[in-house]
């Protein structure tokens, strides 16, 4: 089915919001030690490492990077002093307006040296990105900076509540997720070599998608705890930084247990009040009352 042709996203969103968010129960430490989940990368975008570096740099300096600049990342032990890296970049790429050592603003425990470079000529910028610089038989390519508003890589953990076809699994998953952003990485987790539906996905939620006509770019749909997968016409439970809380009582996202409308309907067998169960009742027993378990 095609979501855009048959089902509106408002309908999809309302369906997803009403579904329970089902996640596997935690496994005991003894079982984990024998059958620890192992990850296997199914898809890795060639620009993912560069995109992560750009966003990491922006998060370190807590502001937007210089427009038109280039980022380089070197092992911290490669140079005796950072100025040696400056000389190397300028000698192989062209004249530089200035450098900003991003690593100086972060933690010293990081094993890399990251620097932002602003070149005088656009040709030098292009050369730094396409050809990079070489040192001791190692090649380091620069990464173009992006506006701070585009620093939108989101790591999503998913649980597929269905068994997909293995041959078309990755292609179907990427087609389904395109409504939420551009897929940069897909990892599956296996237990004892068997896939149980656990996935992790990295999405760029700033990238739009092409509509059914193929000539119009549409804005991405917002992430939620239940992501609609068009190719299988189903929902997958999802968690990510900033996701809505999930109620421990009704398993529906968007509210906490204390505000649960379903729990508010429950009648306590102990005090006959509403909004809680006897296990969590705070009403004190009167002196002449006797607990059933005590009586038995």
295 pLDDT tier (thresholds 50, 70, 90) = very low
Q: Which of 81-85, 124-128, 275-279, 281-285 has the lowest mean pLDDT?
A: 281-285
CA nearest 251: which of 12, 25, 22, 27? Answer: 22
What is the predicted pLDDT for the residue at 285?
58
pLDDT of 152 strictly over 80 = no
Confidence of residue 116 (pLDDT cuts 50, 70, 90): very high
Domains belonging to the chain, first-starting first, are: 3-46+150-239 (no CATH), 66-145 (3.30.70.330), 266-295 (no CATH)
**Total-model pTM:** 0.69
Instruction: Sort 101 into a burial class: Cβ within 10 Å, 0-12 / 13-18 / 19+.
Output: middle
- 21 compared with 160, residue with greater pLDDT: 160
Q: Tell me which range, 134-148, 203-217, 275-289, is most confidently predicted by mean pLDDT.
A: 134-148
Q: Give the C-alpha separation, 269 to 277, whole Å.
A: 7
C-beta neighbour count of 126 within 10 angstroms: 16
Q: What is the pLDDT of residues 21-36, one digit of tens each?
A: 777 766 665 566 667 8
- Distance CA(277)–CA(111), nearest Å, equals 53
Mean pLDDT of 160-170: 87
d(CA 275, CA 51): 48
Instruction: Please give the biggest Cα pair distance in the chain.
Output: 91
């Amino acid at each position: 089915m095609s979501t855009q042709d048959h089902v509106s996203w408002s309908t999809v969103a309302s369906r997803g919001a009403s579904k329970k968010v089902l996640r596997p129960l935690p496994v005991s430490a003894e079982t984990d030690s024998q059958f620890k989940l192992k990850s296997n990368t199914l898809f890795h975008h060639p620009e993912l490492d560069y995109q992560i570096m750009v966003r990491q740099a922006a998060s370190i300096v807590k502001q937007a990077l210089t427009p038109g600049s280039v980022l380089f990342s070197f092992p911290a032990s490669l140079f005796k002093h950072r100025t040696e890296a400056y000389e190397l970049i300028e000698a192989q790429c062209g004249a530089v307006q200035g450098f900003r050592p991003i690593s100086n603003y972060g933690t010293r425990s990081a094993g890399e040296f990251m620097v932002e470079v602003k070149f005088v000529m656009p040709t030098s910028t292009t050369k730094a990105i396409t050809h990079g610089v070489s040192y001791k038989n190692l090649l380091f390519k620069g990464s173009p900076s992006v506006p701070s508003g585009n620093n939108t890589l989101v790591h999503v953990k998913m649980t597929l509540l269905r068994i997909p076809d293995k041959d078309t699994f990755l292609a179907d998953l990427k087609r389904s997720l395109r409504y939420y952003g551009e897929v940069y990485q897909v990892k599956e987790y296996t237990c004892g070599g068997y896939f149980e539906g656990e996935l992790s996905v990295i999405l760029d939620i700033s990238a739009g998608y092409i509509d059914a006509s193929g000539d119009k770019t549409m804005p991405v749909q917002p992430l939620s705890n239940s992501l609609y997968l068009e190719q299988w016409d189903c929902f997958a439970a999802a968690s990510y930084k900033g996701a809505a809380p999930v109620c421990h009582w009704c398993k529906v996202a968007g509210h906490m247990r204390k505000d649960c409308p379903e729990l508010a309907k429950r009648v306590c067998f102990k005090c006959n009040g509403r909004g809680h169960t006897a296990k969590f009742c705070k009403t004190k027993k009167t002196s002449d009352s006797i607990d059933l378990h005590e009586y038995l």
